[in-house]
A and B are shown apart, each in its own frame.
Chain A
């Protein structure tokens, strides 16, 4: 079976990607995954010798934001390569065929690559009324999902919808929208939550799986640790203001103009694990906190029901000091606790500097900006 499948390298060459670009892709991938330059040749070797992993991409109840995010991922080369890897198989939003042809293409892909393909799921199945709230090709999506999952070797749950249920599962969850892992229980599932997930995180995860033919290391919730290992708050560039007790209290106050901490405006950064404050959005341009709006915690389970979004999180402790933001703010202003705040600010700055160095290095190697 597998000898009939091309290697990734062959696919890329056939798609007009030069060897030079291929090697560049390998080093970019190594950098994006935080593996260091020594891994680039290993990635190259894997892609030259191993049969490519087919990908089937299906959509349930969702808003297509995950696809939208994905098709705009940072490096054009990475996007082209990854798209060329997956568009060969089946994706309902981007593919050329329609109607019954498309259904046939899905079936053919499943049969051809039985047991070998990765199933990428965007959105989730609603289970009320026998699944009739989401009908694909005359059948409930949940049937398509079960059918496509049966012969998959692993499943990627893209975004908050597939991972946790997201907005349509918010109370009262009118359609009983259900995350993928509660419907498919006998396959390895990797969750890539976020509404949507960051493009670079999506390409990073899929490239890792295609290249190494295994799952990256996951946390207890099933998210890849390399991208969901830290809180937004841990790497937030406004963290020094939090530590110093400087908070925005109104959208248009002086603190807002100075870019101080948004915790009191409802920012969920302190309880949210994601890469927004490091990888950032729209090709590393910014992220919500940088635009003056708090994080809404969209990569956490059940975040829609943890609102209201503009109310502050209760009782977030700061670096072991048993104070909340109000009392600490007063304390810092009075000059007590100031030393601790300074210390924390310095360490945050160091982290930020270190991060910038890495960023600079990688963007230089991309020949951009």
Chain B
């Protein structure tokens, strides 16, 4: 009975980019999993030799759905290298633009990528299945339509503050090119009000403040039973029925490099959560391992790293993705990680044995939606028309800088080294590079590979449902992973 069979799951739909997972299955459970990102474009090679400022337009093209995070990281890396700090109003506008994108991404993930899995015929007969089909059938469910609409409306703010989205251009090392006027401020506030209406009617069926104030499992349970709770309630029903909190445990370590920096500090703290507490992040101990990547070179910090694909794609490597480690260990990143690191009591209560799971990741994201929407309203109210939004800066000749930001899917870093006005080296670690990394030089699996171990595989399943739930709970963005 303990025979091992191998299954290759993929290509996955409803994730950004391409992903393939090799599963070794014993006794109906995944014994080992290997995540492969089968798409490589070579951004780090293309950037070398270019003018440093060109990173502002090049790097957003890594990803069409988190392009603002990429340009934020590039702007920060250059800003650090030349030693410029945007004026406070510029920081505020940048935070607003960035948070709008992240919020929109969370809505896309929940409505378009994650929930439609539960409409499958395999779940017919479950008490929640009919509601699910009505709300979340791919491309035509009522929740999908209303969320797509709400998201498009929300992104009007991107148009107003940043000209266009995807691939926004207005973020610069010294601030933002667009200083909002009084009319912009009014329109942005109106757009956020409409967004709040959507969230409070469809997604939570409750005030945002109430969601943000939930402080543990008991509070969540009372809240859920007090009234119908929209699509969040629907998810809670599914999570309970399918025991999603026992599915997909990742590593018991969470990283956040800090989200939305304004003169008031980070909205969501920077830190490394392990052993029950949040501590400082040993950033100098970020390293990328290449032992199981189709890359040549040595383990290195991104300031010293190189990107040289191995054309032979030699064993034992199995992915284009490098394997980033923090002080030699894997870490999970993402919305849930941010909320845990920020010490939100509900997020901490959702942990099981110190690790995340499918339910925790999705609820963490929803919690962050509520908290982010509230922050957006406060920032919009604080916009200062007429103020200077850009500090005078100069061209980068020689120097180095790290740009660290929190994208929707987790920690994103750009490490730039410039010499004589040209980029000498540019290394990028994206959120999904952390989460979907292959094994490292010690042979230790990456976070999603670990989370898949033990997943249930039913007879006849070719792309097991449990595997899909676990994979999608991370909200992978494979185009970012390997760039």
Residue in B45, B165, B311 whose beta carbon sits within 8 Å of that of A129 in the complex: B311
Q: Is the CB of A168 within 8 A of B42?
A: yes
How close is A303's CB to chain B, nearest CB, in angstroms? 9
Chain A contact residues (Cβ within 8 angstroms of B): what range?
35 or more
CB nearest to A285 among chain B residues: B159
How close is A67's CB to chain B, nearest CB, in angstroms? 7
Residue in A168, A292, A311 whose beta carbon sits within 8 Å of that of B41 in the complex: A168
Complex Cα–Cα for A174 and B148 (A):
36
Q: Is the CB of A307 within 8 A of B13?
A: no
- Enumerate chain B residues within 8 angstroms of A167, measured Cβ to Cβ: 41, 43, 46, 58, 61
- Enumerate chain A residues within 8 angstroms of B119, measured Cβ to Cβ: 96
Complex Cα–Cα for A294 and B63 (A):
21
Complex Cα–Cα for A275 and B62 (A):
24
Q: Is the CB of B479 within 8 A of A64?
A: yes
Say whether B145 faces chain A, with CB atoms less than 8 Å apart: yes
- Enumerate chain A residues within 8 angstroms of B152, measured Cβ to Cβ: 72, 282-283
Q: Is the CB of A170 within 8 A of B8?
A: no
- Enumerate chain A residues within 8 angstroms of B39, measured Cβ to Cβ: 61, 133-135
Residue in A65, A135, A287 whose beta carbon sits within 8 Å of that of B65 in the complex: A65
CB nearest to B163 among chain A residues: A291
Say whether A182 faces chain B, with CB atoms less than 8 Å apart: no
The number of chain B residues with a CB under 8 A from chain A is: 79
Residue in A72, A95, A252 whose beta carbon sits within 8 Å of that of B389 in the complex: A252
Interface centre among A96, A256, A291, A309 (most CB of B within 10 A): A291
Interface contact tally, CB-CB below 8 A:
239
CB nearest to B165 among chain A residues: A282
Interface 9-mer from B171-179, B365-373, B405-413, B444-452: B171-179
Q: Is the CB of B11 within 8 A of A291?
A: no
Complex Cα–Cα for A134 and B42 (A):
12
Interface string of B55-90 (1 = CB under 8 A from A): 011100111110100000000000000000000000
Say whether A320 faces chain B, with CB atoms less than 8 Å apart: no
Interface string of B167-208 (1 = CB under 8 A from A): 101101011111100000000000000000000000000000
- Enumerate chain A residues within 8 angstroms of B8, measured Cβ to Cβ: 138
Say whether A230 faces chain B, with CB atoms less than 8 Å apart: no
Residue in A69, A166, A172, A290 whose beta carbon sits within 8 Å of that of B61 in the complex: A166
Q: Is the CB of B51 within 8 A of A307?
A: yes
Residue in A250, A296, A308 whose beta carbon sits within 8 Å of that of B392 in the complex: A250
CB nearest to B37 among chain A residues: A135
- Enumerate chain B residues within 8 angstroms of A170, measured Cβ to Cβ: 46, 58
Say whether A21 faces chain B, with CB atoms less than 8 Å apart: no
Residue in B156, B167, B176 whose beta carbon sits within 8 Å of that of A285 in the complex: B156
Residue in A72, A172, A177, A287 whose beta carbon sits within 8 Å of that of B148 in the complex: A72
Q: Is the CB of B164 within 8 A of A174?
A: no
Say whether B137 faces chain A, with CB atoms less than 8 Å apart: yes
Q: Is the CB of B156 within 8 A of A94?
A: no
Q: Is the CB of B11 within 8 A of A287?
A: no
Interface string of B92-133 (1 = CB under 8 A from A): 000000000000000000001000100110000000000000
Q: Is the CB of B463 within 8 A of A99?
A: yes
Q: Is the CB of A68 within 8 A of B50?
A: no
Interface 9-mer from A80-88, A147-155, A236-244, A327-335: A80-88
How close is B320's CB to chain A, nearest CB, in angstroms? 8
CB nearest to B139 among chain A residues: A87
Interface 9-mer from B15-23, B226-234, B248-256, B323-331: B15-23
- Enumerate chain B residues within 8 angstroms of A174, measured Cβ to Cβ: 40-42, 45-46, 309
Say whether B54 faces chain A, with CB atoms less than 8 Å apart: yes
CB nearest to A83 among chain B residues: B139
Q: Is the CB of A94 within 8 A of B139?
A: yes
- Enumerate chain B residues within 8 angstroms of A63, measured Cβ to Cβ: 17, 61-65, 67, 479
Complex Cα–Cα for A296 and B17 (A):
25
Say whether A289 faces chain B, with CB atoms less than 8 Å apart: yes
How close is A329's CB to chain B, nearest CB, in angstroms? 21
Interface centre among B17, B41, B175 (most CB of A within 10 A): B41
Interface residues of B (CB under 8 A from A): 8-14, 16-18, 20, 38-43, 45-46, 50-51, 53-54, 56-58, 61-65, 67, 112, 116, 119-120, 137-140, 145, 148-149, 151-152, 155-156, 158-167, 169-170, 172, 174-179, 309, 311, 313, 320, 388-392, 462-463, 468, 479
- Ordered by A's residue number, 8 sampled pairs between the chains whose C-beta atoms are within 8 Å are A135-B18, A251-B390, A252-B392, A283-B152, A291-B163, A308-B53, A309-B56, A310-B51
Top 8 A-B pairs, shortest CB-CB distance = A65-B64, A285-B159, A291-B163, A174-B42, A282-B159, A99-B463, A292-B177, A135-B38
Q: A99-B463, A293-B169 are in contact. List 13 more A-B contacts (CB 8 A).
A: A63-B62, A72-B151, A72-B152, A96-B138, A101-B463, A136-B18, A138-B20, A168-B46, A196-B166, A251-B174, A276-B164, A282-B165, A288-B164
